[in-house]
C-alpha cells in the first residue's frame, strides 16, 4: 500500500522522446501499401526516434484495445487481480461480438483474446477516481476519461498519439518505471507475441473508430526498440495489415531482426 501511495504522489513524468527523424525506408513501405498512417520507433540505447509522418505521429486518436496495457498495469498494481493467471472473468450469459468472450478468463487469456467485457469489468472495479489518478501519473495522452469508466478508451474522450504511446511504453518498462519489476515481468509475459533465440516481440493491437493500432517493442541483444503504428483502417478483413506492415518496417530498420 505504501508503494502505491508513493507512486501516486510522485510528480508526473513529462513527454520526453527525442525529436522524430523521418526515415525514407519507412515512408517507402507506407507508399507501397498505399496506407495513410504513421510509425514511430524509439531506439533506447541510442536515444533516437525515427519514423514516418511526424505530423500524424503527434495527432491523438482513441486508443481502443491498446489501452488494455495500462488497464492491466493498474489492475495488477491495485491488486484487483493478483497475478496474470488468476481467473477473474466469468461469463454471465450476454451475447458478444466474439464467441470466445463467453469463456472464463485470466488476464493472460483476456489479453490474448482482446476480451472487451473482461477489461470493462476491470475498469469498473478500478473506478473513475483511481483510474484518473493513474492516467495523470502515466501522462497518458489527453488524460480525459469523462464520467463513464468502462467506455472512455473505446469511444473517447481518451485519445493518445503514436509519439505519446511510445513514450508511455518505454517509461512503463524502464528501471525508473511507474510499476514494480514484478508487475513489469507479468505484463511482458502476457504481451509476448513471438520469440526466437535472438529476439522477442511484444505488442498489442487495437481498432477504434476506423483507426488501426499496433504498439509494442522488440528486445534484441539486450537492447529495446519501442514502436507505435496507427493507420486508417476501414475493413475488418484488413486488420492483419497492422502487424504485417509493422514487422515489414522492423525488418528494414532494426539490424538483424529476423
Coil, helix or strand for 59?
coil
Phi, psi for 51 (deg, rounded to 5)? 170, -155
Dihedral sign (CA 188, 191, 196, 200):
negative
- Please tell me which residue in 16, 45, 65, 106 is annotated as part of the active site: 65
DSSP letter, residue 85? T
Give the span between the Cα atoms of 108 and 187, in whole angstroms. Answer: 9
**Grid cell listed for 227:** 514502436
Q: Is 65 a known active-site residue?
A: yes
CB 220 within 8 A of CB 162: no
Give the span between the Cα atoms of 230 and 212, in whole angstroms. Answer: 5
Q: What angle do CA 95, 144, 188 make, to 5 degrees?
A: 65
Give the span between the Cα atoms of 129 and 163, in whole angstroms. Answer: 26
Q: Could you list the active site residues?
A: 65
Amino acid at each position: 500500500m505504501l508503494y502505491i501511495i508513493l507512486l501516486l504522489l510522485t510528480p508526473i513524468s513529462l513527454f520526453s522522446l527525442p525529436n522524430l527523424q523521418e526515415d525514407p525506408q519507412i515512408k517507402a513501405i507506407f507508399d507501397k501499401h498505399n496506407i495513410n498512417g504513421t510509425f514511430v520507433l524509439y531506439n533506447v540505447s541510442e536515444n533516437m526516434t525515427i519514423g514516418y509522418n511526424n505530423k500524424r505521429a503527434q495527432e491523438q486518436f482513441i486508443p481502443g484495445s491498446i489501452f488494455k496495457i495500462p488497464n492491466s498495469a493498474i489492475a495488477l498494481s491495485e491488486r484487483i487481480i493478483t497475478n496474470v493467471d488468476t481467473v477473474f472473468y466469468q461469463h454471465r450469459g450476454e451475447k458478444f461480438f466474439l464467441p470466445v468472450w463467453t469463456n472464463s478468463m485470466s488476464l493472460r487469456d483476456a489479453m490474448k483474446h482482446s476480451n472487451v467485457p473482461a477489461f470493462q469489468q476491470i475498469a469498473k472495479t478500478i473506478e473513475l477516481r483511481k483510474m484518473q489518478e493513474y492516467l495523470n501519473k502515466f501522462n497518458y495522452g489527453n488524460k480525459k476519461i469523462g464520467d463513464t469508466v468502462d467506455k472512455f478508451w473505446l469511444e473517447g474522450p481518451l485519445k493518445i498519439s503514436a509519439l505519446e504511446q511510445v513514450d508511455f511504453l518505454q517509461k512503463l518498462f524502464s528501471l525508473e518505471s511507474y510499476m514494480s519489476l514484478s508487475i513489469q515481468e507479468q505484463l511482458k509475459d502476457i504481451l509476448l507475441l513471438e520469440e526466437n533465440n535472438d529476439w522477442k516481440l511484444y505488442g498489442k493491437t487495437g481498432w477504434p473508430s476506423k483507426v488501426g493500432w499496433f504498439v509494442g517493442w522488440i528486445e534484441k541483444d539486450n537492447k529495446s526498440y519501442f514502436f507505435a503504428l496507427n493507420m486508417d483502417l476501414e475493413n475488418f478483413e484488413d486488420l492483419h495489415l497492422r502487424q504485417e506492415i509493422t514487422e515489414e518496417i522492423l525488418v528494414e530498420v532494426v539490424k538483424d531482426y529476423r
